[in-house]
Amino acid sequence: MKKMHAPVSALLFAALLLTLGGCSKSLEKLADGDSPLAADAQAIRKALAKTKIEPEKVKAWENTGYTTTSSECDSDKPCAGIVVRNGRISHLYVRAAGGPIDMAALKGANALEHITLQNSVEGSLKDFGGLPKLRDLDLMGNSKLTSVVGLSKLPKLANIDLGLTGVTELRNLKDLPKLRKLNLKDSKLTTVSGLDNVGLAGLDFSKLKTLKVLEKITNMPRLIRISVKGNKLTSLSLTKLPVLSSLVVTKNALTTLSVTNMPKLKVINAKNNRLSTVTFSGLPALETLAFGHNAFTAIPAIVGAPKLKWFSISNNKLTSLAGLGKLNIKEVFVEHNALTSLSLAPAATTVEKPAKRAKRAKRKGGFAEPPSEAPASPKTVTLVADYNQLATLAGVGSFPALVYLYVSHNKLTSLSGVEKLAHLKKLQASHNKLKTLKPLKPGKLEELIATNNQIVAAPELFGTTGTSRPKIKRYDLRHNAIVGVGA
């Protein structure tokens, strides 16, 4: 599968078109003479000497800008192309070389800025370097490339694509001071280390089925995005990443996750792991947090996240929402758990003995401490709690601002408590055991979905005769026991 990796892209490179003068020369013709351009061409010709690519068939495009056209290398046959800019070879594209490329020889083409070598490199890059202008290196698809250890002497290298390679180890990227983007997706990496103080802005370690060790990621002052999807990581610790904005660690085997001191972090997606505990603190910009499909038995403690708006902890093992009130989130998703109550209060674990209570009261001047105020989540407007074990809506009053409430596929026999929700506009309570809609009052309610229950009448909607016009905009009471107009 081909992918665009701006600014490094085989498709883009192969589509570079001459805007002034067209394609009139080959690599072989450019190699004649003793000019800097000829020296570039001679170096590339030497690098390709043991491949199946014929220098006279390597087209040279003179270019002052990018214009896309049909690819010259649209098959799996050996193919190559170069771009000449300002009298020097600036781009080299090689596909399916059919033999080993002499990487050391490329240093003779020292004006190269972009190199794409697809299905053309084997072994290691230990002799590669000495290209002072190289910014982009695309090695995607080189399954026989096993090592990039020693990659150095590339002072301007900003982007590296090692996707779908056989690289197993990555160390000491400090030798690449301008490196900003690194893609390792679908490679065979087993160990990553030495990332401290590297200037990367993006890391993609996705779908590395062999990656089990990712040392602590810290002190990376430019890192904005991390994607570590579909690996086998069991733990991950991140700290002191001052501009990190997005963290995606889905589909791993994480049992713990530590994320601290990230002032710009807005999104954490940790779905499909084995998380039961996390350490989160110092996340003042965090807005979105996804913990679906993990092993949480309680709402995790999340400290220092005042802007958190969207929180999903669906498909876990929650039995209580205690602790959720401290987060005060706008949208909450807790479907597919084992909740029996929507209360935010912690479950009582012990009963205070009378003597102890009297002693405490004496210390307070004869008065026992009054019970603390019940926890609440006053900013939550959406609560999705489908597929739980709810028999009642006890505790729903802890969400006084609710506008949307979803409690389908539970064991509800009553809607008691919903009358406290003065702002409720939408209620879905299908597939329960409801026999009545009491004490529901239409109020601001605009939509009611309560199919597949045991409701026999709905005077709250249709009046006592069952013939009056419904008092809400949309309703669905199919598959109940109602007889008459409202059925």
- Tens-place pLDDT, residues 365-402: 444 444 445 678 899 999 999 999 999 999 999 999 99
Residue 479, domain member (yes or no): yes
Tell me what pLDDT residue 69 has.
Answer: 27
Residue 270, domain member (yes or no): no
Instruction: Give per-residue pLDDT as tens, 265-319.
Output: 999 999 999 999 999 999 999 999 999 999 999 999 888 899 999 999 999 999 9
Q: What is the CATH number of the domain that holds 404?
A: 3.80.10.10
Cα separation of 452 and 321, whole Å? Answer: 27
Q: In this predicted structure, which of 30-39, 201-210, 232-241, 289-298 has the lowest mean pLDDT?
A: 201-210
Q: pLDDT-derived band of residue 67, with 50, 70 and 90 as boundaries?
A: very low
Is the pLDDT at 364 greater than 60, yes or no?
A: no
Residue type, 378: P
Of the three residues 128, 159, 190, the one that is the final residue of a domain is: 159
Tell me what pLDDT residue 138 has.
Answer: 95
Distance linking the first and last C-alpha atoms of the chain: 53
Q: Provide mean pLDDT across the span 161-190.
A: 83
Burial 74-98 (b: 16+ CB within 10 A, else e): eeeebbbbbbbbeebbbbbbbbbbe
Q: pLDDT-derived band of residue 83, with 50, 70 and 90 as boundaries?
A: very high
Of the three residues 102, 132, 159, the one that is the final residue of a domain is: 159
Does the pTM of the predicted model rise above 0.75? yes
Is the pLDDT at 22 greater than 80, yes or no?
A: no
Determine how β-strand 447-449 pairs with β-strand 145-147. unpaired
Instruction: Give per-residue pLDDT as tens, 416-469.
Output: 999 999 999 999 999 999 999 999 876 789 999 999 999 998 887 766 555 455
Q: Assess whether the previous peptide bond of 300 is cis (omega < 30° from 0).
A: no
Is the pLDDT at 23 greater than 80, yes or no?
A: no
Determine how β-strand 404-406 pairs with β-strand 382-384. parallel
Residue 299, domain member (yes or no): no
Residue 244, domain member (yes or no): no
Tell me what pLDDT residue 307 has.
Answer: 94
Is the pLDDT at 7 greater than 50, yes or no?
A: no
In DSSP terms, 218 is beta-bridged to: 239
Provide the domain limits for residue 123. 1-159
Tell me what pLDDT residue 371 has.
Answer: 43
Tell me what pLDDT residue 232 has.
Answer: 83
Residue 203, domain member (yes or no): no
Instruction: Give per-residue pLDDT as tens, 318-345.
Output: 999 998 988 879 999 999 999 999 999 8
* Distance (Å) of CA 220 to CA 203, 223, 225, 243, 270: 11, 6, 11, 9, 21
More confident residue, 187 or 359: 187
Residue 279, domain member (yes or no): no
Residue type, 109: A
The SS3 call for residue 13 is helix
Mean pLDDT of the chain: 83
Burial 445-456 (b: 16+ CB within 10 A, else e): beebbbbbbebe
Q: pLDDT-derived band of residue 238, with 50, 70 and 90 as boundaries?
A: confident
Q: Provide mean pLDDT across the span 206-234.
A: 78
Say how many domains are in the chain: 2
In DSSP terms, 182 is beta-bridged to: 160, 203
Q: Of 400, 410, 289, which is closest to residue 341 (Cα–Cα)?
A: 410
Residue 29, domain member (yes or no): yes
More confident residue, 376 or 484: 376
Tell me what pLDDT residue 16 has.
Answer: 44
- Tokens read off for 335: 């479907």
Residue 431, domain member (yes or no): yes
Residue with tokens 């876990």: 316
Q: Provide mean pLDDT across the span 103-130.
A: 90
Q: Provide mean pLDDT across the span 199-205.
A: 79
Tell me what pLDDT residue 432 has.
Answer: 98
Instruction: Give per-residue pLDDT as tens, 122-173.
Output: 888 878 888 999 999 999 999 999 888 767 778 899 999 988 999 887 776 7
Q: pLDDT-derived band of residue 73, with 50, 70 and 90 as boundaries?
A: low
Full DSSP string of 141-193: T-TTEEE-TT----TT--EEE-TT----EE--GGG-TT--EEE-TT----EE-
More confident residue, 95 or 7: 95
- Tokens read off for 122: 């084997």
Of the three residues 159, 180, 195, the one that is the final residue of a domain is: 159
Cα separation of 49 and 449, whole Å? Answer: 72
Residues of the chain with pLDDT > 90, as a percent, come to: 50
Q: Cβ contacts of residue 29 below 8 Å, gap of 6+?
A: 56, 60
* Distance (Å) of CA 360 to CA 137, 347, 355, 366: 71, 22, 9, 9
